[in-house]
Copies of this chain bind each other. A is one copy, B any other.
């Protein structure tokens, strides 16, 4: 009998399907012994997790682009970590990796679950650990493929992006600038707007919290000829207002609708959607996972922009697994400033 205590894995599991904003009682904190990987398996110590608006959708019952998290299951989360044990030739102890780690200190993959885990080595010379959850991670890939494949920006066009200081928004705006667009952000508060313009180089940013007509007036002022591309992360009233300002053949990328995710009533549909007809415009949805085969090419391009200083990033880092339930709420009240990350351990 060994005198070494068996290591324990701390986890946060979904306890109940939330109604409206997730509450403390929708989660349960669990501890379980950490087993060594089986033949072909890998164990990863979680260093940092990506906290995303999409998580709210995964907590709901019902059909979506991905199965819901089951009650009692470890909450789904993308993250970055270090291989802490391996019986698989592709991964060595100490390798830095990203993938679906879940809200837990250690993620264990069998030979089978590894195949669908998306676990991949990451190179910290291309970007920092938190940048691998941001520009080089899911939000960056979402912005990259949503903008380029769905939005198809042309030099000289005007792009508007909501959630401009958020993870996807910061990538979309900077990438659109690189592609020659005029870029106008929409964000909550003067500090975020200042950062987006001064640090990220957007042409303008509209503070939607500045007043009831701030978005309408801001679009008139900054997009006098209308909007060619709208990258929508928020839905609701802002989507409706942008719809009144789109140009002919405009493209609206439906990436998310964070304003609607915690509704206890029906989603607010865009009452100005007939602007699509008048303007021969389109509104199109996208899911980043469809582009997995092209991530390496996109990561290489984005890493190049980071290295050249043409792209910047900002992460809002919260410390500690136990902070997960509270940290997640920052997304929905707009409190996070930059990509929201939960750090569990130092790299």
Interfacial residues, chain A to chain B (CB-CB below 8 A): 63-65, 235, 240, 254-257, 260, 266-287, 290
A282–B281 touching, CB < 8 Å:
no
Task: Provide the bound-state CA to CA distance between A183 and B258, in Å.
Answer: 36
Contact of A278 among B65, B275, B276, B279 (CB under 8 A): B65
A279–B285 touching, CB < 8 Å:
yes
B266–A269 touching, CB < 8 Å:
no
Task: Provide the bound-state CA to CA distance between A265 and B270, in Å.
Answer: 14
B273–A254 touching, CB < 8 Å:
yes
Interfacial chain B residues near A267, Cβ < 8 Å: 271-274
B277–A286 touching, CB < 8 Å:
yes
Shortest Cβ distance from A286 into B: residue: B280
Supply 20 A–B pairs (Cβ within 8 Å), ascending by A.
A65-B278, A235-B274, A240-B269, A254-B274, A254-B277, A257-B274, A266-B271, A267-B271, A268-B269, A269-B271, A269-B272, A269-B273, A273-B283, A274-B285, A276-B284, A276-B285, A277-B285, A278-B287, A282-B282, A283-B284
Task: Provide the bound-state CA to CA distance between A275 and B271, in Å.
Answer: 16
Task: Provide the bound-state CA to CA distance between A149 and B313, in Å.
Answer: 40
Q: How many copies does the complex hold?
A: 2
Shortest Cβ distance from A284 into B: residue: B282
Contact of A285 among B63, B270, B280 (CB under 8 A): B280
Task: Provide the bound-state CA to CA distance between A333 and B23, in Å.
Answer: 48
Shortest Cβ distance from A278 into B: residue: B65
Interfacial chain B residues near A64, Cβ < 8 Å: 278
Q: Which 6 A-B pairs have the closest CB atoms?
A: A269-B269, A277-B285, A282-B284, A276-B285, A269-B271, A269-B270
Interfacial chain B residues near A275, Cβ < 8 Å: 285
Contact of A287 among B268, B269, B280, B282 (CB under 8 A): B280
- Given A282-B285, A285-B282, answer yes or no on A255-B277 (Cβ-Cβ < 8 Å): yes
Task: Provide the bound-state CA to CA distance between A271 and B267, in Å.
Answer: 5
Interfacial chain B residues near A268, Cβ < 8 Å: 269, 271
Shortest Cβ distance from A54 into B: residue: B277
CB distance from A4 to the nearest CB of B (A): 48
Task: Provide the bound-state CA to CA distance between A283 and B270, in Å.
Answer: 12
Shortest Cβ distance from A243 into B: residue: B269
Task: Provide the bound-state CA to CA distance between A110 and B64, in Å.
Answer: 59
CB distance from A303 to the nearest CB of B (A): 27
Task: Provide the bound-state CA to CA distance between A279 and B279, in Å.
Answer: 23
Task: Provide the bound-state CA to CA distance between A267 and B244, in Å.
Answer: 13
Interfacial chain B residues near A63, Cβ < 8 Å: 278
The winner among A63, A272, A285, A287 for most chain B CB atoms within 10 A is A285
CB distance from A69 to the nearest CB of B (A): 16
Interfacial chain B residues near A254, Cβ < 8 Å: 273-274, 276-277
CB distance from A134 to the nearest CB of B (A): 21
The winner among A257, A275, A276, A277 for most chain B CB atoms within 10 A is A277
CB distance from A290 to the nearest CB of B (A): 6
CB distance from A279 to the nearest CB of B (A): 7
Task: Provide the bound-state CA to CA distance between A97 and B271, in Å.
Answer: 39
B280–A282 touching, CB < 8 Å:
no
Known: A267-B273, A269-B271. 12 other contacts (CB 8 A): A65-B279, A240-B269, A254-B273, A254-B274, A269-B273, A273-B273, A274-B285, A276-B284, A279-B285, A282-B284, A282-B285, A283-B283
